[in-house]
Amino acid sequence: MLGTGQVADAEDLLVAKQKLRAVHASVRKDDRVRWTIQTIPEGAEEPYVLMASFLTAPEFGKAADPMWWTWGEREITALTKAPTSGEPVKQEYF
């Protein structure tokens, strides 16, 4: 955790970037998402960060809560199932 105005060391930043790429590879592997790592939608940013935190924590001697990964997966799945228009999906009965 960095304080306001603090900058991460180059090594720490490299670890964080590697973990973000690992998260992206994980959510792309089953074609759930089609965005690139450069075009991550705003709604997926926080889940990505939390999932990367889960992967990164042990390298910094911190405990990783498995719920971080679970929550991130759930949020990304919900994001991919939401209609792109932002309108609620209407239920159809047959």
Domain that holds residue 69: 41-82
Q: Distance between CA 73 and CA 23 in Å, rounded? A: 10
- The answer as to whether 1 is a domain residue is no
With a pLDDT cut of 70, the percent of the chain lying above it is 87
């939401």: which residue's tokens? 82
- The answer as to whether 33 is a domain residue is no
Q: Which pLDDT value is given to residue 8?
A: 80
Q: Distance between CA 24 and CA 91 in Å, rounded? A: 32
- The answer as to whether 93 is a domain residue is no
- The answer as to whether 25 is a domain residue is no
Number of domains in the chain: 1
- The answer as to whether 26 is a domain residue is no
- The answer as to whether 32 is a domain residue is no
Per-residue pLDDT tens over the stretch 43-73: 999 999 999 999 999 998 999 999 999 999 9
